[in-house]
Amino acid sequence: MLIIDGHLDMAYNATYHRRDLTLTVQELREREDPDPPRGPDHPDSLRERRGLEPMGKGVVTVTMPAMRQGQVGIMLSTIMSRVQMPGVTMNDGMRTQTAAAAIGQSHLHYYRALERRGELKFIRTLADLEASVKAWEQPTPQTPVGLILSMESADPILDPDHVSQWWQWGLRSVGITHFGVNTWGHGTGTRGGLFPNAYPLMDALRAAGVILDLTHAADLTFWQILEHWDGPVHASHCMCRALVPGQRHLSDEMIRALAERGGVLGMVFAEPMLNPSWNFDHPETWPATAKRSMKAVIEHIDHICQLTGSCEHVAIGSDLDGGFGRETSPTDYDTIADLQKFLGILDRRGFSQADIARFAHGNLLRFFRQAWG
């Protein structure tokens, strides 16, 4: 069954972690093994070049071949560069917006290079979306993965006049904030709202047709966005605060508000997002290894469906390899191809095939068809 992953950081992984995502997962694991049993056998081993990586990249699980194997045929993948002073746990932010914009351009050019190789195909219009869905009805090993270009932190957009250029480049979804405080306002781990300059930015995004992603908005930021914004909204990778503590997740009131706007929440496959014993707002408490299986995701699906009264507001936004690896992915997960196993878990849990199809791809397809229709 076709899966649409509503949130991946492919360009970030390729550039920041120096990963060739056209290789298999196993090839990359051999290359990155920090202590291979017989020494660095792979000719391109990075073992001797490991530098400071406070967040850690973890054991790789996502590559283009693995996505094809798992029929993850369409993805929202990010331009991911933010303004944030380096800290104890995170140092991948930029000190200036100009630098963040430069990194954002590098991510854009990475996707363009993959498209040139035939690995992926940009989805810019409703016709592009339908063509990608049709291609995955009978995929081949060469079928390109469809890319809906998203942005996690709007720092690479220099000002409202820059929005139209990003639209031409293919940008279709933007999360204004990310971790910390950026150019436009307060995000995860902070208390506060939008800065005044965020409002003309939102007006320009609305005029261009860009969708807003409410993931990583501080609580006040979340509500200020909904008060000002009258266009489509989604939460590409968020879980339920009622089940796992922390501002990073959405409260029941937020989930209801998002559903009332026709929005969709993407389920994240990461231990800090699934384990109620941990608080995402305090990274020092995050587990070093996973303790929960993919079944834990269903607890959040159940909660959202019960809260909203339907199965129309849940999708997959895995965030796999998004600053973590296999160590803190679910215990029964090895590569992104295993998202197909998750569909089997849903089936055994008693969900209908129609609802499973909604979670796998149907709800996001409906969301973008309505947004672009």
Tokens of 309: 């009264």
CB atoms within 10 A of CB 252: 14
31 domain residue, yes or no: no
For position 87, what pLDDT does the model report? 59
Q: What is the mean pLDDT of residues 152-177?
A: 98
For the chain, the farthest-separated pair of C-alpha atoms sits apart, in whole angstroms, at: 59
DSSP code, position 186: B
For position 323, what pLDDT does the model report? 86
Cα torsion 186, 161, 149, 6 to 10°: value is 30
Distance CA 20, CA 270 (A): 23
Per-position DSSP letters for 207-233, written without gaps between them: HHTPEEE-TTB-HHHHHHHHHH--S-E
Tokens of 217: 């908005």
What pTM value is reported for the model?
A: 0.94
Q: Is 369 helix (H, G, I), strand (E, B) or coil?
A: helix
Task: Provide CB contacts within 8 A for 49, sequence distance 6+.
Answer: none
Tokens of 366: 């409906």
204 domain residue, yes or no: yes
Pick the more confident residue, 281 or 30.
30
pLDDT over threshold 80, residue 115:
yes
Question: Mind listing the pLDDT tens digit for each residue in 36-71?
Answer: 555 555 555 555 444 434 456 789 999 999 999 999
pLDDT over threshold 50, residue 215:
yes
For position 42, what pLDDT does the model report? 54
171 domain residue, yes or no: yes
Distance CA 55, CA 294 (A): 23
Domain that holds residue 357: 3-24+50-372
For position 239, what pLDDT does the model report? 98
What is the pLDDT of the chain when averaged over all its residues? 92
Identity at 96, one-letter amino acid code: T
pLDDT over threshold 70, residue 133:
yes
Tokens of 278: 């941990």
Distance CA 195, CA 88 (A): 26
DSSP code, position 172: E
Element (H, E) at 11: helix 10-16
Distance CA 130, CA 2 (A): 13
Q: Please give the C-alpha separations between residue 346 and each of 189, 243, 314, 349, 359, in angstroms, as whole numbers.
A: 32, 19, 13, 5, 10
For position 50, what pLDDT does the model report? 44
Q: Which of 180, 213, 223 is nearest to 317 (CA)?
A: 213
Task: Provide CB contacts within 8 A for 329, sequence distance 6+.
Answer: 61, 269, 270, 271, 290, 320
Question: Mind listing the pLDDT tens digit for each residue in 292-331?
Answer: 999 999 999 999 999 999 999 999 999 999 988 999 999 9
33 domain residue, yes or no: no
Residue 268 maps to which CATH number?
A: 3.20.20.140
Please report where in the chains the tokens 């993931």 appear, as a residue.
215
For position 34, what pLDDT does the model report? 66
37 domain residue, yes or no: no
pLDDT over threshold 90, residue 101:
yes
For position 22, what pLDDT does the model report? 98
Q: Is 264 helix (H, G, I), strand (E, B) or coil?
A: coil
For position 329, what pLDDT does the model report? 96
Question: Mind listing the pLDDT tens digit for each residue in 252-288?
Answer: 999 999 999 999 999 999 999 999 988 877 777 777 7
For position 259, what pLDDT does the model report? 98
How many CA atoms within 13 Å lie on the side-chain side of 284?
2
For position 162, what pLDDT does the model report? 98
Q: Which of 367, 311, 371 is nearest to 6 (CA)?
A: 367
Q: Please give the C-alpha separations between residue 15 and each of 44, 100, 283, 313, in angstroms, as whole numbers.
A: 16, 14, 24, 33
Q: Is 133 helix (H, G, I), strand (E, B) or coil?
A: helix
For position 286, what pLDDT does the model report? 72
pLDDT over threshold 70, residue 96:
yes
Q: With pLDDT > 70 as the criterion, what percentage of the chain qualifies? A: 92
Strands (E), the chain: 3-8, 72-80, 120-122, 145-152, 171-175, 211-213, 233-234, 265-267, 314-316
How many structural domains is the chain composed of?
A: 1
Question: Mind listing the pLDDT tens digit for each residue in 171-210?
Answer: 999 999 999 999 999 999 999 999 999 999 999 999 999 9
